[in-house]
């Protein structure tokens, strides 16, 4: 099925990107949940993740969750490149498809900053949170706009993309490119590189959940009848479900280039960028996450004055942060509740 | 470069395989190191691993190693499918290339048994040992010929291929197949699916070494100048170096179907098969092996009367068992020495 069409649209105009290109007539697709209160103090930014749409964040929003729209005004901006905001698949020539420029997390967050300030007049955020690439955007918010972020809660993601993580990303991209139908990104929209996409999905399957998840056949809890049913039904199904290959590779580019050290003013010094974070930051990596291991978050946390790492236990690995089971969701919810109960940074 | 040509050849004749096909005029390529002593009591079988040739085992054999040819007679049989023994790439029609039949670990070990008994008249083995798929063959030896194996030392491998491990294997195969040049295995020998092979190599790169190995840039210790240099120079170089795609997939098939429970007499009961092992068995998984995690060996070991698990510490992951650094090699060597110093099972 195609991406959801219920996003609001925020026009960015011509955006000069960190790596030099200008993305003309760019826009963000976004949704909001709840109402902004009178003093604009209840806003939460919750960006999307690799290949996710705003609707894919809704498992953590609602009555009974910490992000209850009765209390918070939750803004979910779609990442540039995800097929809803400006992306290879929806940008007109000449920056369409394989020519879509590289967008960094800084570009993502600067665009979101404009959405938040220009459209809503918000000057301070109660919380920024996100899973995976959403976690990277969370870190980027805390480094780029330290005076604006009261609290940050990245989960299953990192401030800098580790080399091992990049190797995983390279393997995904190379599998897609091994399918000649991909044709350097110039495939026809009605003749997708399906073999490449399926290989992509199977690579992802090995990384997304832990060894123990498979050993315990926990895919049964997710409604699949066999290992192959999980690989085809969940994984291939997901990536064949309206996900455009060029969009996927554009997001991989963003992910690969993740490093808060490349925020202006830090000259590539990741530790210095982390030291500049003012707000309490609760990182929740998953115990058995194979590409964002808890060790990486322990490393980052040492530089953050009010940093804390709280490891999500269990076997779901990276997908502990995707609402796949009630226990992990409760853990993330509790972490957000604890953080929001504490005083935030307000300058 | 093509596979080494210095292997001895042992003719198997027509081999009826476990899954029903007959591999006609089959053979094993093998090498030996040292001399068989007069009472034939110093023989060691040390099978090859996925995509490895006999020469790739030599890092663990020699003066200063436990497997010193001055003391032991080390037999290295090449796996069926590896390009030196009967394989898709060297079998004449009609069982050539994509039609090469599925060979199980049982088939492998039964062929090796014939080599050991018929050519050398050996009735008892001081040790069977091997890395990765060589470890699976080691387990298979101990289950299939319990009266013949005095000691077993599988390292970085398992008695049964775990589902998560299979997911990794599926991703490799799917990446190869995503390259249309592969053409279901009917590619021309002079027009290899190079893109598929390179994707294959990059997937492997993420699994072969641990997250911490990459974080610490330990590829520098292996002589590579950058992450990309390691991915291209080591990984792509390895799989482009005379490794035939159909051979690789044939070995993946063997690996995928690994389970000592499928030895005749055990009717799929892996635990019962492990309980039948008579000899001391020292398993050495690597602490950070991503596809043969130590947990799996702890599971197997509980069923083995004289089983012991000794975890190779450090960050090399699966490649702790491939002679990539002196510390891990010393650990494996010491494990083999300890085991050989103990009385073996002799009935």
pLDDT in tens, B258-293: 999 999 999 999 999 999 999 999 999 999 999 999
> Is residue A202 less than 8 Å (CB to CB) from chain B?
yes
Of B168, B203, B206, nearest to A164 by CB-CB distance is B206
**Max Cα distance, chain A (Å):** 55
Which of chain A's residues have a Cβ under 8 Å away from the Cβ of B166? 227
Mean pLDDT value across residues B151-178: 98
Which of chain A's residues have a Cβ under 8 Å away from the Cβ of B231? 167, 170
Cis omega (within 30 of 0) for bond into A80? no
pLDDT in tens, B225-237: 999 999 999 999 9
* pLDDT computed for residue B2 by the predictor: 78
Which of chain A's residues have a Cβ under 8 Å away from the Cβ of B199? 171, 174-175, 177-178, 199
Q: Where are the domains of chain A?
A: 8-160+259-341, 165-252
Q: Which residue of A has its CA nearest to B215?
A: A163
Tell me the fold of A8-160+259-341: Rossmann fold (3.40.50)
- This model of the complex carries an ipTM of 0.94
What does the block give as tokens for A326?
Answer: 């009630």
Say which CATH architecture domain B165-252 belongs to: Orthogonal Bundle (1.10)
Average pLDDT, chain B: 97
The arrangement of strands across the sheet holding B43-45 comes to B8-16, B22-33, B73-77, B43-45, B127-131, B152-155, B281-283, B307-309
In angstroms, the CA A172 to CA A175 distance is: 5
Q: Catalogue the active-site residues of B.
A: 132, 289, 318
Of B162, B210, B217, nearest to A215 by CB-CB distance is B162
* pLDDT computed for residue B347 by the predictor: 85
Tell me the fold of B8-161+260-341: Rossmann fold (3.40.50)
pLDDT below 50 — which residues of chain A? none
* pLDDT computed for residue B3 by the predictor: 85
Closest CA to A247 of A1, A6, A10, A3: A3
What does the block give as tokens for A104?
Answer: 């960094």
Distance of CA B35 to the CA centre of its chain: 23
> Is residue A191 less than 8 Å (CB to CB) from chain B?
no
Chain A, residues 223-262, CB within 8 A of chain B, namely: 227, 231
pLDDT at residue B1 is higher than 90: no
């Amino acid at each position: 099925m195609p991406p959801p069409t219920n996003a609001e649209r925020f026009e960015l105009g011509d955006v000069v990107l960190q790596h030099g290109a200008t993305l003309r007539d760019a826009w963000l697709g976004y949704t909001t949940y709840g109402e902004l209160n009178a003093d604009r103090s209840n806003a939460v930014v919750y960006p999307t993740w690799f290949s996710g749409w705003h609707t894919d964040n809704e498992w953590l929003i609602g009555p009974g969750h910490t992000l209850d729209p009765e209390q918070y005004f939750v803004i979910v901006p779609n990442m540039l490149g995800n097929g809803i905001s400006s992306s290879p698949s929806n940008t007109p020539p000449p920056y369409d498809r394989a020519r879509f420029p590289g967008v960094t997390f800084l570009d993502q967050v600067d665009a979101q900053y404009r959405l938040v300030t220009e459209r809503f007049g918000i000057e301070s955020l109660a919380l920024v949170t996100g899973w995976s690439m959403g976690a990277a955007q969370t870190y980027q918010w805390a480094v780029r706009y330290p005076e604006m972020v009261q609290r940050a809660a990245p989960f299953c993601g990192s401030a800098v993309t580790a080399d091992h993580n990049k190797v995983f990303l390279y393997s995904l991209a190379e599998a897609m490119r091994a399918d000649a139908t991909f044709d350097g990104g110039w495939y026809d929209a009605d003749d997708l590189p399906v073999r490449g996409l399926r290989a992509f999905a199977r690579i992802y399957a090995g990384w997304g959940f832990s060894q123990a998840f498979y050993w315990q056949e926990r895919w049964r809890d997710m409604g699949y009848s066999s290992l192959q049913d999980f690989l085809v039904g969940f994984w291939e199904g997901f990536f064949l479900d309206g996900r455009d290959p060029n969009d996927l590779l554009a997001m991989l580019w963003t992910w690969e280039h993740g490093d808060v050290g490349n925020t202006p003013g830090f000259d590539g010094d990741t530790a210095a960028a982390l030291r500049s974070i003012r707000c309490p930051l609760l990182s929740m990596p998953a115990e058995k996450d194979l590409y964002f291991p808890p060790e990486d978050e322990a490393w980052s946390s040492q530089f953050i004055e009010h940093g804390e790492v709280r490891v999500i236990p269990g076997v779901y690995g990276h997908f502990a942060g995707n609402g796949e089971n009630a226990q992990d969701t409760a853990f993330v919810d509790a972490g957000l509740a604890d953080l929001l109960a504490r005083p935030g940074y307000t300058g």
